Structures are given as structure tokens and as C-alpha cells.
Structure 1
Amino acid sequence: MDASKQQAFLGMGAMGRGMAAQLAMKGGLSKPILLWNRTHKTAVKAEESIGGNSARAVESLVEIVREADIVWSCLYDQPVVERVYEEILEKVDLVGKVVVECSTITPEGADGLARRVVGAGGRFVTMPVFGSPSMAAGGQLSCITAGPAADVEAIKSFLVGVMGKAHIDLSDQTPGKAQELKLCGNIFNFTTLQQLAEFYTMVEKAGIGAKRGHQLVQALFPPGTPQAIYGEGMVTGRSFDTQNIVVDVEKTLHIAEYVNALADRNGVPLKAYNLAVDNIRAVGDRGDFTAVYGVVREQSGLLFVPNEGSV
């Protein structure tokens, strides 16, 4: 895709902010990337973080999409995606625009949105991503794309080496297929949380200590892997910081609903996955989703939040 095209990014949450910054810094763009968020001051902060010469916050959703040639979006959940695109489809001429939807939504939601965007004259690619906010900020995401091959080709230069480290290309498959693969991959995330929570609790109760146990995790799993990232949050206590939630429980449980719906359609019992889901649900408002560690601690007769000496 010609880097002279005007790019816009909708959604300045932890993931979207990092992705937009990588586009601005590494995408070779000739124009500042346009930023939008439902809370405008969040977009302004993102502009300041990226740099005023490389980014510009726009308050109006309609105006930013009108001005853009390529519209990326990474929004909180499916209801937000539906509300945002309802306004776009009602008020903006999408003819010729490339829309890249990166939010985690249902496969049916992705296919339905694609039909509406294409019906309005636009081009549509779905691109859910794997990785943490820190990986988004470092351009280390794994990107899954689906949609017409020509439309995927139009954004390919902004993936590996810019926003991501890997690209799983499902070109010419329906947009929902990328979401299906993303949901299947969520099984790794949740079961990893459960495994780590059990491991750190076990080494704590055995008198070894979670910090020493974490040295084994670091030896077995390279930096940037879910094990390394989630484990670091557990042993440093970041998992229990209710003022700086990285991935909140409510959003996590929405995704679990999508995963289980897909599993039910395919007749796959996700027993290990749903053990993790139950424990994430038990976290409540006591931390982010990695605070499943605290739930397993409680189940084992320990305090939910480790004291400083134990970690």
C-alpha cells in the first residue's frame, strides 16, 4: 500500500495505542496518523506520546473516517464495534476506503460487518492480533488476516516489521475465519494462566518461593511469551494492582463466551479452559485477569494477594 495514503486508527486503549504508535514510527507514513477514541482526551494523550509531527487526535468519528484512506480499529468489545460502525456506515461514504478491524469479536460479527462495509463500497479485512499491550508497544504482535487477497495485500507492508513479528495469512477466507483462529488461540492464554497460578502456588507452599520458581519459568520460556509476561505480573504483584488494570476481567469473560460458543458448535469440550474461566470469574474486581493466581492461592489456603516476602 502506498504509504502516502492517509491512515487513521480508532481506539486508543492499551493495544490500539501501541499499534498506532508502531504505524506512525515504522510505517513510513508521509502524513501524521489520525487518532480517535470515544474519550477524546485519551486520543490527545496518545498524540502527545507519539509526537505531534507523527500523529493528530481527531474528536469527530465521522470526520476522521471521512479524511482517511485506511481505517484501522481496535475497540473494547463487540457492542462498541457495532455502535461505532453503525455511525460510520450511516454518515460516511466508504467507497474505496480500506477498513481493517482488529477487535476481538465473534466470527458472525466479523462476517456481518464485512458484508455491510463492502455493500457500502468499502474494502474490509479482519485482523485480530495475539499479544499483550507491551508487545503491541514493541511491534511484536502476531497478526491474523482474512478477507479478499487484494485487500490483505494492501495492508501487508504494515504488518511484519511494523506492528507485528508474525503474519498468519488467511487471504480469500471469510473474515470470520480470522476471528475463529483468534478464539482458538485464546485457549493457550487461559490455560497458561491456570498452569502458572498452580505452579507459583505449589512452589510457595513447598517453601521454595514464587521468586525462585519464576527463575525456572524464565529459563524455560523466552521473554515475550505468555508464560514470561503473565508470570512476571504474578510474582511482581502487578496482577493485583486494581488501579492499573492491563486486561480486565469483564472483557476477558466476554471473549470466553465467544470461545465457548465456537466450541459448542464444533463439539469440543474445553475442560481445562473452563476451569481457568471459572477462576478468572472469581477474581472479580480484585485485579486483572492474571490475578487468577490469587484465586488458586485462596483455594490452597493462602491469602489472595501474596505478601512482599513470599514473592
Structure 2
Amino acid sequence: MAAQALRFAFLGIGPMGEGMSENLIAKGNLQTPLILWNRTKERAIELSKRVGNSIVADSLKDTVPRADVLWMCFQDEAAVVEIMDELLTTNVAGKLFVDSSTISPSATNELASRVINAGAEFVAVPVFGDPSMAKIGALTLIPAGNPESVSRILPYLGGVVGRAVVDLSGEKPGQASLLKFIGNVLIMTSIEVAAEMNVFAEKTDLGAHNILKLFEALMPGSPHVVHTKQMISGDYHKHKPGVPVAHAIGLTSKVQELAHSKGVSLKAYEVAVNHLKDVEAHVGSSGGIFSIYGVVRKEGGLPFEN
């Protein structure tokens, strides 16, 4: 099939990009080695040596003539704009740009416009999940853009880079970023609910393990189940976080700004965001989103660590 003959480059081998590119290599049925590029080249070299079927580009511009699809995944909006500024100094006509970075809806639409005006295609594919989920191909992906462009990347999403796809074909790329923003409300409030219920159960001697049983019975496969398992395991204080607290606070601030601009009140979300700030004050950069459990434990008179 023609789609299988596409040449891919993956730009941005951070914690998320590493897992996504590994799965693209392992399950994408690529006919040519995946081209890897990262601002810290050593990280791309290490990944290539470990997973095989890949090559490391010497420079960012070197990826353009050698790939049909340029898939980006960077941690912040400034990095995406900087990378795109450099890429668009080359001839990108006919290329397909795929962006899985978490950036604002307006920035996504602006990038899409620039890419399309340069004669290329653009699909936004923001993701739900953390690096551990990226590693095992369990992400939920949200593609949006021109239907023909989305159809070119769809075979590499569900069952390859991720588990599930929320297809927004035909909608502006920024709509995918908007859904990612609003979906963050679900993620953060479900973490808050799980943390509060677990602490309540511990303080009443019911035990968090029984809260997990309840979630599994009432909402199997829900974020509440995943979050409670993370909390009970102690991963939130034993290991380096998949999503650093500073990064999470940056995203939640943008979500709150958007909600405020639309006259929307997100009271439950505010509670979770304030607990994120407490996490940063308590453990600094070693904290993550699941460390909310630790600060809720402290508020309940329990130790931060379980």
C-alpha cells in the first residue's frame, strides 16, 4: 500500500517522543528506517542504537528532503515555533507535518496556516497519556485537519503509536488542541477525586485498596482506576514523574486562562491546580501530577509518602 511506503522523520525524542517513535518503529510496518532528530543529538543516537531500524539526522533541515512525514513532539509552544521557523526556510512542498506537542489552539491553527501556505499538509495529533503510556502504546490520540491529510496518518495511530483515536477529521487542527485542553480538566479532576477518596478511605480504616475495587466495579478502565493504582503503588514519590509538576502547572494555567476568557468557572479544576502548586512547594521538580495524592494526604494528617 502507498501509505506503507511513506518515509517518516520523528522530531523531538523527549520522554513522550521516545515511546511514540519506538512504537512507530515496532508496529508501523515502515519500509524505510525512521529518521530521528533531537536538539540533544546524543539522545537520538542512544534510541537508534537501542531500537534499530532508524537513523539519526545530522541537522533539522537534513530531515526535510529525506522524509514524507515530519512528526513533531515537543514540550512547549516556544520550541514548536522555533523548530517550525527553521523547517519552513526549506522547501516543504508536498510534505505532511504532524504535531503531537501540547500547544494552544490558536498557535496550532497559526502553524497549520503557515505550513499549508508553504505547500505542505498539517495534521494536529495531540495525545492523552504520560510517557509510561507512550512506551506501551496506550496513548489516546486526537487527529484533526483536512480529511485527506488525516487519512494519511491514521494507519499509524490506533494500534501503532496509541491505543485509541478520537477522530476530528475535517475540523480545524486547533480543535484537537482545544479538546486536549478541555480534556485536561477531566484528567486533573479525576486525579483530585481519586486522591480525596483514597485519603478518606485511609482515615476511616477502609483502605485505598477497597476504593480501587469500587472504581473497577463502577468505572472499569476509567482514569480513576489508573490514577488510584498509581497512588497506591507509591510511584508518585518513588520515581521520577512522567509529567513534571512545573510542566503541568504551565498547561493548567493556559486552560484556566481560556476558561476565564469564555466566562467559564472550573471550581473543581481550581482545587486540583492549587494542589499542584502545593506539590511544587513541597517537593519541587521531583513532583508530578500524581503527587497531588501526597499533598491531600498531608492535609488529612497523613505523611506525604504512603
Same fold (TM over 0.5): yes
Q: CA RMSD in A?
A: 1.8
* CA spacing shift, 1:47–1:221, aligned 2, 3 Å: farther
Distance 1:171 1:127 in 2: 11
Structure-2-length-normalised TM-score: 0.92
Which residue of the other structure, out of 136, 142, 145, is the alignment partner of 1:144? 142
Match of 2:33 in 1: 32
Partner of 2:248: 252
Amino acid at match of 2:305: V
1:68 maps to: 67
Question: How big is the shift at 1:2?
Answer: 2.2
**What pairs with 1:40-189 in structure 2 (closer than 5 Å)?**
40-50=41-51, 52=52, 54-90=53-89, 92-189=90-187
Q: In the TM superposition, what is the alpha-carbon distance from 1:212 to its structure 2 partner?
A: 4.3
Deviations, residues 265-302 of structure 1 (Å, cap 9, x unaligned): 33210110111011011101152111001111111122
Q: Give how far 1:232 is off.
A: 2.0
Which structure 2 residues correspond to residues 246-285 of structure 1 after superposition, within 5 A? Answer: 246-284=242-280, 285=284
In the TM superposition, residue 257 of structure 1 has moved relative to its aligned partner by 2.0
Amino acid in structure 1 at the alignment position of 2:244: D
- Tell me if 1:230 matches 2:227: yes
2:102 counterpart letter in structure 1: T
> After superposition, what is the alpha-carbon deviation per residue over 1:89-133, rounded to whole angstroms, capped at 9, x for unaligned?
23x211110000111100010011111111222111111112232
One-letter amino acid matched to 1:127: V
How far did 1:65 drift?
2.9
Equivalents in 2 of 1:103, 1:250: separation in Å?
A: 16
In 1, the alpha carbon distance for the partners of 2:46 and 2:224 equals: 31
Q: Which amino acid aligns with 1:265?
A: S
Question: Across the two proteins, how many residue pairs are aligned to each other?
Answer: 301
Please say if residues 180 and 262 of structure 1, whose CA atoms lie closer than 8 Å, have aligned partners that are also in contact. Answer: no
CA deviation after TM superposition for structure 1 residue 222, in Å = 3.5
- Residues 210/174 of structure 1: CA separation in 2 closer, same or farther (3 Å cut): same
What is the rounded CA distance, in whole Å, between the counterparts of 2:152 and 2:88 in structure 1? 22
Task: Tell me the alpha carbon deviations over residues 161-203 of structure 1, each in whole angstroms, 9 at most, x when there is no partner.
Answer: 2223322222222111111111111111000110111011111
Residue type matched to 1:205 in 2? Answer: K
TM-score by length of 1: 0.91
Distance in structure 1 (CA, Å) of the matches to 2:274 and 2:31: 48
> Displacement of 1:263 after TM fit?
1.3
Identity of aligned residues (%): 38
Q: How far is the alpha carbon of 1:12 from its aligned partner? A: 1.5
1:218 deviates by: 4.0
* Matched position secondary structure for 2:264: coil
The DSSP-based 3-state class of the residue aligned with 2:110 is helix
* Matches of 1:31 and 1:14, distance apart in 2: 24
| Structure 1 stretches of 4+ moved >6 Å | none
- Counterpart of 2:54 in structure 1: which amino acid? A
Cα 1:119–1:35 change in 2 (3 A) is: same
Residue aligned with 1:94, SS: coil
CA contact (8 A) 1:94 1:120 kept: yes
In structure 1, C-alpha distance between the alignment counterparts of 2:42 and 2:218, rounded to whole Å: 41
Contact 2:132 2:242 in 1 (8 A): no
The correspondence of residues 175-214 of structure 1 with structure 2, limited to 5 A, is 175-214=173-212
Q: Measured at CA, do residues 42 and 221 of structure 1 come closer, stay the same or move farther in structure 2, by a change above 3 Å?
A: farther
Task: Write the distance in 1 (CA, Å) between the matches of 2:60 and 2:192.
Answer: 39
Which residue identity does 2:264 align to in structure 1? Answer: V
**More displaced, 208-217 or 130-139?**
208-217
Match of 2:236 in 1: 239
Aligned partner of 1:309 in structure 2 is none
| Secondary structure at the counterpart of residue 279 of structure 1 | helix
Aligned AA (1:102)? S
Looking at structure 2, the residues matched to 42 and 218 of structure 1 have their Cα atoms a distance apart, in angstroms, of 38
